[in-house]
Structure 1
Amino acid sequence: MKNTLETEFFKLVKCDKHKAIQMVFNAYWNTLYQHAVKKGQCKSMVQDLVQDSFISFWDKLDTINPKESVLAYLYAILKNKTLKFYEKDEVRSRYIISLSSFGIVSDSNAQNIIIEKELKHIINREIERMPPRMKEIYNLKKEEELSIKQIATGLSLSEQTIKNQLQMAYQRLRTRVRA
């Protein structure tokens, strides 16, 4: 039957390509589909690959040698389509992996920036709540970067008082940040 079918096909190609393709499609579509599904491929993907194989077959219709088996030719097209699909899929997978790892880094950076802004906001709010003298001492130490001795001299306070005020300020900030 295949021999008769293929002989009929090559006769039809000369006068009516559409009928010739329809005849081969009806005869071999299921065979190609079942072959590809047995290879463990996804059914919807297999349908697309078989369809694409027939499209390629149509495009190469004028170059097919009548001495060759049409089914063998279709199997070869299907095999090449499948290999190209997996090559593209592998490239897509590597690209997605590279994008996702890039996304994780950028998400991590974005997350760190948000956390940093929140911490600064919490710290600034707690500094504003400090008693005036504690706030002044803290700002002189952190913003002006003065030493304890310089702060004590400038405010006419003992160094121990400055240390105590800074200790209480840091304790307030630690407590607030942990909450």
Structure 2
Amino acid sequence: MFGELESNFFLLVKLNKDKAFNLVFDAYWNTLYKQACKKVHCNEIAQDLVQDVFVSLWDKIEFLDAEGSVLAYLFAILRNKILKLYEKDEVRLRYAVSVASVTAPSDLYSQNSMLEKELKTIIDTEIERMPLRMKEIYLLKKEDDLSIRQIAEDLSLSEQTVKNQLQMAYQRLRTRVKDYDSSLIMLALLISKHL
């Protein structure tokens, strides 16, 4: 399918640039968008990147090599745009580290304390969001340090039910901490290396 599309594309470019562009746009937009999403993990940024790819295609459409693959060309442009995005992010991060190292508290204890408070707030918020029974079991295990057997007896539940609830609670907390924007953590680690 793609081979026929690409040969039609190169013929069509000479006859009608707009139609050729629309043909490729319709055929490859989703493929490029999915690839961009995998790399940048943000739908809006992925859309912007793919849009930029097609702007580049439009600008150079008459100069493409008819022996080459349009899709390979588009993927190459996308890869370069993603790399440039990563480079910009690295520059921003270096700037943030340099600013933070000047203005941040100079002792590591203060930084760790701020980070611990932030993470504790995230975890406490997620515990509050848990279903009532899950929260109760989690708190009995973590705060009262009860065994699974003791919790099961106290709540008249099977041990397996307690294990399942704890496993789901731990999974929620892991997911929440992982999904949390880790830039603060990364920044704190980088700052501590530079002090």
TM range (shorter): 0.5 to 0.7
CA deviations on 1:80-117 (whole Å, 9 max, x unpaired) are: 11001101111122113223334448xxxxxxxxxxxx
Separation of aligned partners in 2, 1:43 and 1:95: 26
Deviation string 1:118-165 (CA, Å, 9 cap, x unpaired) is: xxxxxxxxxxxxxxxxxxxxxxxxxxxxxxxxxxxxxxxxxxxxxxxx
Is there any run of 5+ residues in structure 1 with no aligned partner, and where? 106-179
Greater C-alpha radius of gyration: 1
Q: Which has the higher contact order (CA 8 A, sep 6+)?
A: 2
Specify the alignment match of 2:59 in structure 1.
Answer: 59
Aligned to 1:31: 31
- Judge conservation of contact 2:33–2:47 (CA < 8 Å) in 1: yes
How many residues align? The count is: 105
Per the TM alignment, residue 75 of structure 1 is displaced from its structure 2 partner at its CA by 0.6
Instruction: Describe how 1:1-179 pairs up with structure 2 within 5 A.
Output: 1-39=1-39, 41-104=41-104
Shift of 1:62: 2.3
Q: For 1:76 and 1:44, how far apart are their aligned partners in 2?
A: 20
Q: Normalising by structure 1, report the TM-score.
A: 0.54
How far did 1:72 drift?
A: 0.7
Supply the distance in 2 between the matched residues of 1:63 and 1:4 (Cα, whole angstroms). 20
In structure 2, distance between residues paired with 1:75 and 1:57: 11
- Residue in 1 that maps onto 2:146: none
CA RMSD across the alignment: 1.7
Paired letter, 2:50: V
Question: Any gaps of 5 or more consecutive residues in structure 2?
Answer: 106-195
CA distance in 2, matches of 1:99, 1:38: 31
- Secondary structure of residue in 2 paired with 1:39: helix
Deviation at 1:63, TM superposition (A): 2.1
Shift of 1:40: 5.4
Separation in structure 2 between the aligned mates of residue 93 and residue 18 of structure 1, nearest angstrom: 41
Q: Is the 8 A contact 2:33 2:50 kept in 1?
A: yes
